[in-house]
Amino acid sequence: MSLLSLDPRTAPLFAESGCKESDSQYVLEAIGQAKSVTALARGRQGTDPVAVVVADGRMQVVSVGLRANLGHAFHGTGPVRLKAPIESLTLAVDQTPAGAYQSLLLHAAQGEFHIQQVPARAAERLQRALTPTQTPYSVPEPDRRVGFEPPAHEPDRDVAGPQDSPPTGPAAMDWRQAEQLAVWHLRYLGYHDARPTQAGADAGVDVHAVGAVAQVKHWAQPVGQPPLRDLFGVAQAAGARPVFYSHSGYTVAALEWASATRMALFSYSIDGQVIGHNTAAHDLERAARPAAGKRLGFFAQARADRYRQDQEKLRREIERLTALMQKRTQSRRPASRQAAGAAAPLLTGASRTLDAGDVLSPADRRREDTYKVVRDALTQVRRML
């Protein structure tokens, strides 16, 4: 059985939703073949647990928990069908011994729907997803599995800001996890080969990809100008785009300098939310949206994952053999030192060939030829050493 924490549509929202894995059957059955889920929350209508989900722009309220199969939740009907537009939505804080929750009050022509004990973050996301426009609209033809279908409309947006929020990335509780979040976000932006820089050799860069370098500061205070200048210098030398990630935002001077140099600035939270801080960052997000919609097919994605694993194994082997070669150069035996000297250019060539393969798209079959050349070179090195 599919789980909410594993389904790609609900996994980014699962941790904040308050839902349980036992709710998976009811929620996933309700959303059916929907392509995207923008909000997910668990609460209570009276004494009955329910899940509220917004999938492909439609809101559904689903009975969950032990009594779900009995159809006792929401007036005894299972999923509730809201036959009139939501006129307003109100959130109120509920202080309980377990922590702060919010109540979701949906006002519709047919009555009020009061859902209590909704986790605060999930309630805020629902509010953004369900807030209607001021323009009157007609009720669309109801779907058999759907509760409420809001009108197709274009919401007001900040011209300088991103049009949609990106999906939630991995948690960033410390600097190591923050670097992994930056890797995830760069890949979301289209830099599919993004990876962390090897420890001890970052030269001011924590994450790099073909065409982009990134620095991550998991600081408690805002980032100033100097780290931005350092990253900008490295990016200029590499002919790459500089991208900066900060846990605590930026100083005014840093924001002004980044705007003048068109450096993309992002901030992130420990729960994996990444937000653009300037126009350059918003431009990157806009450019990523068309590519994000064109996902790789199942077999192409599997091939891309295999290539990435092969690449990582080859890099580790190059590092291992390089350490062995350096050790051989200190040997008292002339034959060992001579073998190390002959192996050095082969290792350098293998590393450069592997780097050159990063220019290819993640699932490009030509990567196999690149990796074969690297493997052959490493086989020769192993024989020498």
Q: Are 53 and 29 in contact (CB under 8 A)?
A: no
Output the pLDDT for position 66.
Answer: 62
- The residues facing 209 across adjacent strands are 212
Listed in sequence order, the residues at least 6 apart from 135 whose beta carbon sits closer than 8 Å to its beta carbon are 153
Output the pLDDT for position 80.
Answer: 40
Output the pLDDT for position 130.
Answer: 66
Q: Domain 175-293, what architecture?
A: 3-Layer(aba) Sandwich (3.40)
Please tell me what DSSP assigns to residue 68.
Answer: G
How many Å apart are CA 179 and CA 214, to the nearest integer? 9
Query: Up-side HSE of residue 190: CA atoms within 13 Å toward CB?
Result: 16
Residue pLDDT tens, the chain, 385 long: 578 888 888 888 888 888 888 888 888 888 888 888 888 988 887 777 888 888 877 777 888 876 565 543 333 333 344 333 444 556 554 544 444 677 777 665 555 667 888 888 888 887 777 654 333 323 333 333 344 343 333 333 333 344 444 567 888 888 988 999 999 899 888 888 788 887 655 567 899 888 899 999 999 888 999 999 999 998 888 888 999 999 988 888 898 899 889 999 999 988 888 888 888 888 888 877 655 545 566 777 778 778 888 888 898 899 899 999 989 998 899 999 999 999 998 998 888 777 666 656 667 778 888 889 999 999 999 999 8
- The residues facing 105 across adjacent strands are 90, 114
Output the pLDDT for position 200.
Answer: 54
Q: Domain 11-130, what architecture?
A: Roll (2.30)
How many Å apart are CA 287 and CA 101, to the nearest integer? 36
Strand ranges (DSSP E) for 260-379? 264-268, 274-276
Residue with the two structure tokens 């590393």: 351
3-state SS class at 81: coil
Q: Which of 111, 104, 6 is nearest to 50 (CA)?
A: 104
Strand ranges (DSSP E) for 218-255? 241-246
